Structures are given as structure tokens and as C-alpha cells.
Amino acid sequence: MHAVGINFTDEIHECISETIVAKLPNSMETTLAILETKRPLKTKVVLDTLEAHLVEYNERHRNDNDSVALATSRPPPRQSGRRYPYPTCSNGRHNPAVTGYVHDKCWIAFPHLRPANLPRI
């Protein structure tokens, strides 16, 4: 900001830095401990420390994600060439291999039994 004519005092830098550090989660306790030792805080110190934490975090989790991806990956299930994995009626005829309903209630063999609000196959 000095380049554009705005001069920050050390107190303003420290106030901004304290606000940033106060918003960090407790899970970053190592980073918080490092920042506690670097008093009085400057925004540049906070930025450098957070960048170092980000690099370390990405390295640690990249390895975790790779192993998780390998452990959970499996080939996709094989798809048969048929549209349905079970026998169906077709060509206006009831298929006797179809279970779950009888020939007298087959919509393919008797299209007039099909309810009007269902779409056609």
C-alpha cells in the first residue's frame, strides 16, 4: 500500500494480523503456535506462515487422496446389451418367462388394460 501513498503503521499491521489469526480454526494449532512465537505480528509474517501451512497441507492430503482413490476404485459394473436386466414382454406378445403378473394382465398383449396416464414404451 506504500506504493500508492497509503502508509500503515506497525499498530495497524499488528491489528490486521491479530484479526486474521483470531479467525483461524483450532485444528491449525501448530500454525497458531508458530505465529505466537513471532510477536509482534506483521501481515507478511502471517501470510508467509499460512502459505507454508498450505503447502504442507496439500502435500499431506494429496497422498491421502491418492491412496483413498486407489482403495475405493473398482471397475464399472458390466452392462449387458439388454435394456432391462430381466425378461420383458415385447412385439405384442406376453413372455411366459416374465414373473410378477399373469398373461391376462399383460399390457403388451392387451394394450387396452394400460392406464391412460402412463407413457407408452
Highest-scoring range by mean pLDDT, 32-41, 92-101, 111-120: 32-41
Digit-coded pLDDT (tens) for 50-79: 999 999 888 887 766 666 666 666 666 666
Mean pLDDT, range 90-96, rounded to an integer: 77
**Nearest residue to 108 (alpha-carbon basis) of 88, 87, 86, 93:** 93
Average pLDDT over the chain reads: 78
The pLDDT assigned to 23 comes to 92
Domain boundaries, the chain: 2-72, 86-113
The pLDDT assigned to 79 comes to 63
**Nearest residue to 10 (alpha-carbon basis) of 41, 35, 50:** 41
The pTM of the full predicted model, rounded to 2 decimals, is 0.47
Which CA distances in Å does 3 have to 6, 7, 34, 41? 7, 9, 30, 21
Residues 35 and 28: their CA atoms lie apart, in Å, by 11
